[in-house]
């Protein structure tokens, strides 16, 4: 299962400052978006990160892309700390790590021809001469399933699925090793979603890419991932190989999440675990287990001790006091 | 569960948008009916006309571009298409209630929650002062909002998405409409919250025998919630069936493609089967069946003639030339 780790996250923390508690207070309020997370991305594999809105899954993606500076912890890319990268190393890192985002309408510049858009990263990094770049744009368009002669068109001439293909082509233009896919199919229609997922899986095989796949949709994550981590309020609550987490979820939150997905099969009797209440506001987070207010298994113990992510079965990590 | 009484009947509805670039046939000849206490699902991808169908029923099609050009919408025998906007106000809110996708935009940010629910209550009953206050609290309790006494003075921005959607549902309850139209009510919400809201809507349907039209693109939600389903593609209703028939005995290539393209939890496949091609351009629809360019079963006839609606069993209607072979 495991191979060579391409990226290791060690105790990553990302806090956002929210201003003072009161006018005369000296204490600043903090939002803990990511709070002490460890994981590794293995070469050629897909790491799925699931969670509900506001749990910090996109923040992790942004930390890896160096769009945010991490508050504490170490992010190692091929053994080197990405935080101290400078100059050439930094450029190389950005060549190796690329991203595809959720909204293909917002990611494309409406005034730029698609060809220019795909070419731009190569221009920035000074790769190839102009003819070489144009050739490569054509090749990339074909790789993602579009026509080479569509390079001169503008984004508005494409549908959502096609635009997402264009974004993928741009991300591939620098021959990256790692792709951060932040909800790449969430904005797409069902029939188009399958096309893009298939494309992503084909590309992974062809170019040996590593994916960090961020999504709130468990069925999509199950389809594409090798390793899955479930996040709840800035922390990973369960992490295991894909089949294991879906066959035998151990954390109460994972269980509830899995049972809450409506399965498109009317005959399947589904006993949904309905969680009470809403997600706790990350600002007012107290000590203890962050999930205890909504947990059907919570007891006195959960308000006092904070559960740690421990290995309960080989490769299966869970953060719950009830599960040893 | 559902009675035999037809409460809403839509006949050959055509809602077109007249734009500078041409005519968009958002809904093109849709016919269906809704029974008392029934839950009807409308599925389709973006641009298939499912939201315009619901807006047409409420006569809220954006003007001046959009217009109902043909068809009848019969609510208890009365044609809503012929009503003036003034007359329609007697129906909106009281008989027909709509919950939209984004609860943020459907609540007024400058009035507190109590005010807004109170307004809905006063549409039906003439209550004031303390009685009204108690009614509001009762409504909030019905949708499982805790400590509702304190929350009636809260403003929408202090509520989370799920709570705002509950407030909308509580307003619907206050009005006690006969038909509740929910346009993607859970799309903007998280899965665990979605489960709560769907459960709540089911409770209401059981308790008050409300008919519900649920519009969504999520086949999972449809399978769990609806009894009868319409599948729309490019303004046309391509298949109509009860929930079991639709998932197990569907006959239309589009319905089949849609269901097969979903990843199934617990059954990991190597590849997903997908519908090829791109969604239709509504300004340039083909003369025949709009699904023809993407269909694996298409024959010559499909490209120039739209298939008639035929019955493939009890309550199972389908528009496809080749459904018998599929």
Instruction: Calculate mean pLDDT across residues B178-195.
Output: 86
Query: Looking at the complex, does the CB of residue A200 fall below 8 Å from at least one CB of chain B?
Result: no
What ipTM was assigned to the predicted interfaces of this complex? 0.80
**What is the phi/psi pair of residue B249, to 5°?**
-125, 35
Between B146 and A43, residue with greater pLDDT: A43
Element (H or E) spanning B242, and its range? strand B236-242
- At residue B4, the 3 state secondary structure works out as coil
* Structure-block tokens of residue A5: 């780790």
Helix axes B129-142, B113-124, angle to 10 degrees: 100
Alpha helices per DSSP H over A76-159: 87-96, 104-107, 114-124, 130-143
* Structure-block tokens of residue A200: 């992503």
Query: Looking at the complex, does the CB of residue A280 fall below 8 Å from at least one CB of chain B?
Result: no
Q: Give the pLDDT score at A284.
A: 64
Q: Residue B242: pLDDT above 90?
A: yes
Of B195, B265, B268, the CB nearest to A218: B265
How many whole angstroms separate alpha carbon A145 and alpha carbon A184? 16
Instruction: Calculate mean pLDDT across residues B257-270.
Output: 78
Looking at chain A, which residue has its C-alpha nearest residue B271? A198
- Positive or negative, the Cα torsion across B218, B220, B226, B229? positive
Query: CA dihedral in degrees (A10, A11, A16, A21; nearest 10)?
Result: -170
Residue of B103, B262, B275 to mutate when probing chain A, most A C-beta within 10 A: B262
Contact residues, chain A, for B274 at CB < 8 Å? 191-192, 194-195, 198
Of B146, B261, B265, the CB nearest to A191: B261
A79 by Cβ neighbours in 10 Å (0-12 / 13-18 / 19+) ranks as: exposed
B264 by Cβ neighbours in 10 Å (0-12 / 13-18 / 19+) ranks as: middle
How many whole angstroms separate alpha carbon B133 and alpha carbon B152? 9
Query: Looking at the complex, does the CB of residue A263 fall below 8 Å from at least one CB of chain B?
Result: yes
DSSP labels, B9-76: EEEEEEEEEEETTEEEEEEEEEEEEEETT-EEEEE--TTSSHHHHHHHHTT-PPTTTEEEEEEEEEET
> pLDDT below 50 — which residues of chain A?
none
Query: Do the Cβ atoms of A192 and A161 come closer than 8 Å?
Result: yes
Lookup result for tokens 């996109």: A58
**What is the phi/psi pair of residue A306, to 5°?**
-95, 125
Q: Give the pLDDT score at B147.
A: 73
Q: Do B266 and A247 touch (CB under 8 A)?
A: yes
Query: Do the Cβ atoms of A137 and A192 come closer than 8 Å?
Result: no
Q: Which of A77-81, B144-148, B195-199 has the highest mean pLDDT?
A: A77-81
What Rg, from alpha-carbon coordinates, does chain A have? 21
Q: How many CB pairs below 8 Å do chains A and B form together? A: 132
How many whole angstroms separate alpha carbon B204 and alpha carbon A18? 40
Query: Looking at the complex, does the CB of residue A195 fall below 8 Å from at least one CB of chain B?
Result: yes
Per-residue model confidence as pLDDT tens digits over B277-291: 888 888 888 888 999
Q: Do A190 and B272 touch (CB under 8 A)?
A: no
Query: Do the Cβ atoms of B5 and B18 come closer than 8 Å?
Result: no
Q: Which of A2-6, B77-81, B209-213 has the lowest mean pLDDT?
A: A2-6
- Positive or negative, the Cα torsion across A169, A171, A175, A180? negative
Tell me how close the Cα of B80 comes to any Cα of chain A, in angstroms: 32
Q: Residue B1: pLDDT above 50?
A: no
Across the beta sheet with A235-241, what order do the strands follow? A97-100, A178-182, A210-215, A46-50, A227-232, A235-241, A316-318, A310-313
Per-residue model confidence as pLDDT tens digits over B45-62: 888 888 899 999 999 998
Q: Give the pLDDT score at B2.
A: 45
Q: Give the pLDDT score at A283.
A: 66
pTM of the full structure: 0.86
How many whole angstroms separate alpha carbon B182 and alpha carbon B39? 11
Contact residues, chain A, for B262 at CB < 8 Å? 190, 194, 219, 264
Alpha helices per DSSP H over A125-251: 130-143, 160-172, 190-207, 218-224, 242-247
Of B192, B257, B265, the CB nearest to A275: B192
Looking at chain A, which residue has its C-alpha nearest residue B281? A159
Classify strands B6-19 and B22-35 as parallel, antiparallel or unpaired: antiparallel
Classify strands B66-75 and B78-79 as parallel, antiparallel or unpaired: antiparallel
Of B191, B244, B272, the CB nearest to A52: B191
Residue partners of B87: CB distance under 8 A and separation at least 6: none
A250 by Cβ neighbours in 10 Å (0-12 / 13-18 / 19+) ranks as: buried
Q: Do A263 and B276 touch (CB under 8 A)?
A: no
* Structure-block tokens of residue A319: 């953060």
* Structure-block tokens of residue B131: 């009685």
Q: Give the pLDDT score at A296.
A: 87
Tell me how close the Cα of B106 comes to any Cα of chain A, in angstroms: 20
First to last CA, chain A: 24
Query: Looking at the complex, does the CB of residue A303 fall below 8 Å from at least one CB of chain B?
Result: no
Alpha helices per DSSP H over B112-226: 113-124, 129-142, 148-151, 161-175, 191-208, 219-225
Q: Do B162 and A191 touch (CB under 8 A)?
A: no
Q: Residue B265: pLDDT above 60?
A: yes
Residue partners of A158: CB distance under 8 A and separation at least 6: A114, A150, A166
Query: Do the Cβ atoms of A275 and A52 come closer than 8 Å?
Result: no
How many whole angstroms separate alpha carbon A186 and alpha carbon A120? 26
Tell me how close the Cα of B84 comes to any Cα of chain A, in angstroms: 36
Q: Residue B318: pLDDT above 50?
A: yes
Residue partners of B209: CB distance under 8 A and separation at least 6: B3, B36, B37
Query: Looking at the complex, does the CB of residue A28 fall below 8 Å from at least one CB of chain B?
Result: no
Query: Do the Cβ atoms of A255 and A320 come closer than 8 Å?
Result: no
Of B46, B221, B259, the CB nearest to A262: B221
Tell me how close the Cα of B280 comes to any Cα of chain A, in angstroms: 9
Residue partners of A70: CB distance under 8 A and separation at least 6: A12, A13, A14, A34, A63, A83
Query: Do the Cβ atoms of B210 and B179 come closer than 8 Å?
Result: yes
Element (H or E) spanning B25, and its range? strand B22-35
Instruction: Calculate mean pLDDT across residues B118-123.
Output: 87
How many whole angstroms separate alpha carbon A324 and alpha carbon A310? 8
């Amino acid at each position: 299962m495991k191979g060579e780790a391409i990226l290791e996250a060690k105790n990553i923390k990302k806090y956002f400052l929210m201003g003072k508690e009161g006018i005369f207070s000296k204490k600043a309020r903090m939002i803990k978006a990511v709070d002490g997370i460890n994981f590794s991305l293995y070469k050629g594999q897909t790491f799925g990160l699931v969670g509900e809105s506001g749990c910090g899954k996109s923040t992790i993606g942004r930390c890896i892309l160096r769009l945010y500076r991490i508050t504490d912890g170490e992010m190692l890319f091929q053994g080197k700390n990405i935080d101290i990268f400078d100059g050439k190393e930094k450029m190389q890192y950005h060549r190796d790590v690329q991203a595809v985002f959720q909204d293909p309408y917002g990611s494309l510049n409406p005034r730029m021809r698609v060809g220019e858009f795909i070419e731009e990263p190569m221009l920035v990094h000074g790769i190839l001469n102009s003819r070489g770049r144009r050739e490569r744009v054509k090749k990339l368009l074909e790789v993602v399933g579009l026509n080479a002669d569509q390079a001169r068109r503008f984004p508005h001439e494409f549908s959502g699925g096609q635009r997402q293909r264009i974004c993928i082509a741009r991300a591939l233009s620098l021959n990256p090793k790692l792709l951060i896919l932040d909800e790449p199919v969430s904005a797409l229609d069902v029939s188009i979603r399958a096309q893009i997922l298939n494309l992503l899986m084909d590309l992974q095989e062809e170019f040996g890419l590593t994916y960090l796949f961020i999504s709130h949709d468990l069925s999509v994550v199950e389809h594409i991932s090798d390793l899955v981590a479930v996040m709840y309020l800035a922390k990973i609550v369960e992490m295991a190989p894909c089949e294991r987490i879906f066959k035998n979820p151990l954390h109460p939150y994972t269980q509830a999440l899995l049972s809450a997905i409506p399965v498109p099969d009317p005959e399947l009797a589904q006993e949904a675990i309905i969680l009470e209440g809403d997600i706790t506001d990350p600002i007012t987070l107290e000590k203890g287990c962050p999930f205890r207010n909504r947990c059907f298994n919570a007891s006195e113990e959960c308000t006092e001790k904070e559960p740690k992510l421990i290995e309960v079965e080989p490769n299966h990590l869970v953060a719950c006091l009830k599960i040893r | 569960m559902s009675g035999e009484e037809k409460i809403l009947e839509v006949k050959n509805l055509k809602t077109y948008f007249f734009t500078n670039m041409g005519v968009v046939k958002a809904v093109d000849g849709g016919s269906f009916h809704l029974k008392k206490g029934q839950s009807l699902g409308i599925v389709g991808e973006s641009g298939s006309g499912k939201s315009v169908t619901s807006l047409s029923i409420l006569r809220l099609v954006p003007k001046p571009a959009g217009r109902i050009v043909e068809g009848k919408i019969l609510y208890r025998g009365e044609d809503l298409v012929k009503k003036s906007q003034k007359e329609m106000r007697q129906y909106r809110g009281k008989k027909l209630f709509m919950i939209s996708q984004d609860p943020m935009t459907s609540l007024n940010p400058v009035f507190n929650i109590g005010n807004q629910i109170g307004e809905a209550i006063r549409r039906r009953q003439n209550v004031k002062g303390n009685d009204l206050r108690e009614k509001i609290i009762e409504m909030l309790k019905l949708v499982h909002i805790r400590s509702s006494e304190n929350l009636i003075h809260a403003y929408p921005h202090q509520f989370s998405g799920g709570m705002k959607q509950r407030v909308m549902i509580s307003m619907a309850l206050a009005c006690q409409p006969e038909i509740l139209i929910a346009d993607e009510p859970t799309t903007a919400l998280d899965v665990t919250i979605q489960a709560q809201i769907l459960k709540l809507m089911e409770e209401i349907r059981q308790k008050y025998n409300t008919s519900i039209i649920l519009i969504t693109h999520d086949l999972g939600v449809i399978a769990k919630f609806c009894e009868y389903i319409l599948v729309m593609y490019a303004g046309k209703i391509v298949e109509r069936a009860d929930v079991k028939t639709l998932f197990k005995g569907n006959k239309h290539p589009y319905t089949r493609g849609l269901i097969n393209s979903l990843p199934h939890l617990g059954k990991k496949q190597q590849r997903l089967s997908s519908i090829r091609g791109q969604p239709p351009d509504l300004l340039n629809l083909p003369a025949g069946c709009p699904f023809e360019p993407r269909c694996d079963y298409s024959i010559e006839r499909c490209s120039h003639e739209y298939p008639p609606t035929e019955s493939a069993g009890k309550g199972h209607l389908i528009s496809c030339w080749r459904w018998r072979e599929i």
